[in-house]
Amino acid sequence: MTRTLVLGGTRSGKSRYAENLLPADAEVRYAATARRHPSDPDWDARIETHRARRPAGWTTVEDPDLVAEIARGGVLLVDDLATWLTGILDDVGAWDARPVPPSVGEAVDALVRAVAEAPGELVIVSAEVGLGVVPETRSGRLFRDELGAANAALAAVCDEVLLLVAGLPVRLR
């Protein structure tokens, strides 16, 4: 089966492009990794915008166990790795921990193994963070470094890797 990684910056069109890779009438599970925050109506509105444009027949799994979802097989779209990693960093208190807790790397390694062994068609969306400025804060640098490393590890095991720039796909592999 095909494993596709779709990278891009903010508002690059990466999510919409990834969604369009899959037929609207297919049995797709949509692993939505963004966690809802009741105190942040803007964030919830962004989640609802994504939800509203998905085909009605797709099944959405919010805040999923990605390794388990990938192992189930079938057609899976993961949107996106950046919010998944944010949840991992939140859960282990990595923002203030020095050094980064080993469980962060372990979670990423488990995800990469699952992707490498994926029994079904898989499309993963992730933010490309390697093209910007060096973040001013430690938490910004931590996020950039951890996501950049995760993206590179996933790109190594994916069959196709695309970068969306201004809505246009550039095939990297």
| Per-residue model confidence as pLDDT tens digits over 101-154 | 999 999 999 999 999 999 999 999 999 998 878 889 999 999 999 999 999 999
Given strand 59-62, what is the order of strands in its sheet? 59-62, 28-32, 75-79, 121-127, 3-8, 160-165, 168-171
We report the CATH number of the domain holding residue 66 as 3.40.50.300
Residue type, 161: V
Please state the pTM of the whole predicted model. Answer: 0.93
What does the alpha-carbon distance between residue 70 and residue 31 come to, in Å, rounded to a whole number? 9
| Catalytic member of 9, 43, 44, 50 | 50
Residue span of the structural domain in which 112 resides: 3-171
C-alpha separations of 112 from 65, 73, 107, 157 in Å:
13, 15, 9, 7
Establish whether 37 is a catalytic residue.
no
Q: What 3-state DSSP class applies to 149?
A: helix
34-83, pLDDT tens digit by residue? 887 788 888 778 777 878 888 889 999 998 999 999 999 999 999 999 99
Burial 80-91 (b: 16+ CB within 10 A, else e): bbbbbbbebbee
Structural domain count, the chain = 1
